[in-house]
Amino acid sequence: MRLFIAEKPSLGKGIAEYLPGSKAKGNGCITCGDTVVTWCFGHIFEQEEPDFYTSATVPTTPKGKKKWRFDELPIFPQEWKRKPKEDAKSQIKIIRDLLKKADLVVNAGDPDREGQLLVDEVLEELGWKGPTQRIWLAALDEQSVKKALGNLKDNKAYRLLRDSAEARGRADWLTGMNLTRAFTLRNTGSGVLSVGRVQTPTLALIVARDEKIEHFKPKDFFIPRIQASPNASADTAFWANWMLREDADGVDAEGYLTDKKVADTLARQAQAAGKAVVTAFESSEKQQGAPLGFSLAELQKTCSAKFGMSAQAVLDAAQALYETHKAATYPRTDCRYLPEEQLGEAGAIVQKLSRLGFVKEAQGADPARKSAIWNTGKVTAHHAIIPTGSMQGQMDEFVAKVYDLIVRGYLALFYPPFVYRATKIVLDCTKESWVATAKVPVKPGWKAVYGGSLQGMGDEEGDEESGSGTIPVLKKGQTLTVVTADVQSKQTKPPARFNDGTLIEAMSNIHKVVDDPEAKKKLKETSGLGTEATRANTIETLLTRGFIERKGKQIISTQAGRGLIHVLPKELTDPVLTARWEDALSGISEGRVSLEQFEAAQQKAVARLVETAKTLQVSVGQARPTGAGGKGGKGGKPGQGGKSSGKGPQCPSCKKPTITLKTKKGSAFFKCEGCSGCWWPEKTDPKKLGAKWEARN
């Protein structure tokens, strides 16, 4: 018997669909002739907790947990051990029983390092020693699956890829477990000082943004402008702004004209001159193709801007579209491209979307149109998020909104380009240059799918104009009348607070805030801090631990969060650490560095940082955030006193069950059985936590 072990059910079922032989569904598997396909649910084994490796003589807390002690640090496992996840034990038994009957196993993990390890570790833990092959599959259309099935490789060829994923996991464990304990033990405040390779630099981003805003001092600056006309008529008049010169009087080092007297003089002299000569006139039609498809980060950014949804809520909605409604493809993708092999399916999908209610939008789509999104070479482990054309079950409000965006984004790919006329004019008046630009729509093209509006859709061209919106056709050398002139008074503004969308974008493009050239390059290659699958959870973890809070759409650091960032060594808050790790992990997958060498380097760094922690005196208290996962609120103290009054909703952070408790004053609150987070029902907006929360309430 040949046994495929897929990373997740959807992948297993997608492979089974195109295997020869009659199909028979079993318990946790599908039989296809002499082949059986089974699956994991992501990682079904996890690293043992630090207490597993510490001395049995370490005293325990009243809850049976071993107490944290400096003399136990750093904790370096001599032999790494994994344990089954509680909710995966039944599936592990299914896989174990199937392995006993198998002659050949095929690793069907996702086509990346984590997918390689995910199945390999199952085989290792269950003691499989037989022959193993690897299927490398980035898409689930018929052509892609059949091509991959005909091109199976020996799994041994991917050993180094597996080692790089193992190295990443061990390094995260060594850093997080040891340094969280070390800095917490030096904390005289009440908070646990959680440290992590991704969460700590992410928190540092938020703290830096908040402090920049709070220390920001607005600066007045001025823009002289003239209104010119070819015939002195108001109907043909347009505004042109003074073209700033860095060497001009009154211009500061940052490129702002800050001297109002200079601005007034420029405007007054221009109006007195009365004439301006056209020195440059450019006007041409330009085209802009539809945006590429949605990666998860792009979808989170857009939904945050348009609907105010949290990153986790968007992920939950996209996951529901994928798993529950079968309406969209796999959501945890960093790719915005589609394999060319799937272009042939576009016509059928467009027809199905029309029958699902997108009649008008589908009518304008030409499935034969091939845009830049169709590029197999740029497809990573998963392609862009697109609709499947199928639909199961009734969607709630926010899932429906996310689905609407995904559908319109897909249909827009088959529309003509958006056409606009871009005009730029440069005038000479009093030996100064004045410029006006305009962007005027000509044909809506793909923008018609969105009703002509693209707010929050990453319209990179933008619609900004300097001067007036309507500029007449002019000729170089033509003399115009200066109708009037004035000075616009403006003020510099601080950067905006982060929201879920802009924070996800900043994490994805962390290279933009890094100065080190090599680190910048590596971070750009690896898509920044965290992955598409983990960024939303990182935000929720910071919320749960009280380091950040939500105020409306804004994400703001708490005093505890700032205190943590201010006491930690810079190397833990700087994303350069992630870049160095990624460089070393690439070295492992390429055979330049061994897993053992990498782990030894991590142990050395952790040991040094533990010693650093011993020299510090830290005082970081526990925050009282207002969002989901926060510990605190009004009407009492969550976690103190009270009896269980039943089951609560699923925890939005760790997805574990919760119980409903009451304080001594009788106020109800939720407490998570997994991460111990507590929050008040009235302090949580269920819609922003996604469909799962709403369903369980």
Residues tagged active-site:
330
- Which residue matches tokens 């897909």? 410
Element (H, E) at 104: strand 104-108
- CA-to-CA separations, 371 to 22, 375, 415, 441, 485, in angstroms, rounded: 38, 9, 9, 21, 46
Q: Give the C-alpha separation, 119 to 108, whole Å.
A: 7
Q: Give the C-alpha separation, 209 to 353, whole Å.
A: 42
3-state percent breakdown (helix, strand, coil) of the chain, nearest 5: 40, 20, 40
- CA-to-CA separations, 570 to 204, 227, 496, 575, in angstroms, rounded: 10, 52, 24, 10
Dihedrals φ, ψ of 168, to 5°?
-60, -45
Q: Give the C-alpha separation, 589 to 598, whole Å.
A: 12
Both structure tokens of 519:
């680190």
Q: Which of 42, 193, 172 is nearest to 542 (CA)?
A: 193
Cis peptide bond N-terminal to 444, omega within 30: no
Q: Give the C-alpha separation, 135 to 11, whole Å.
A: 11
DSSP state string for 511-527 = GGG---HHHHHHHHHTT
Q: Are 328 and 399 in contact (CB under 8 A)?
A: no
Q: Give the C-alpha separation, 624 to 268, whole Å.
A: 56
Q: Are 162 and 595 in contact (CB under 8 A)?
A: no
Angle between helices 535-544 and 199-214 (to 10 degrees): 70
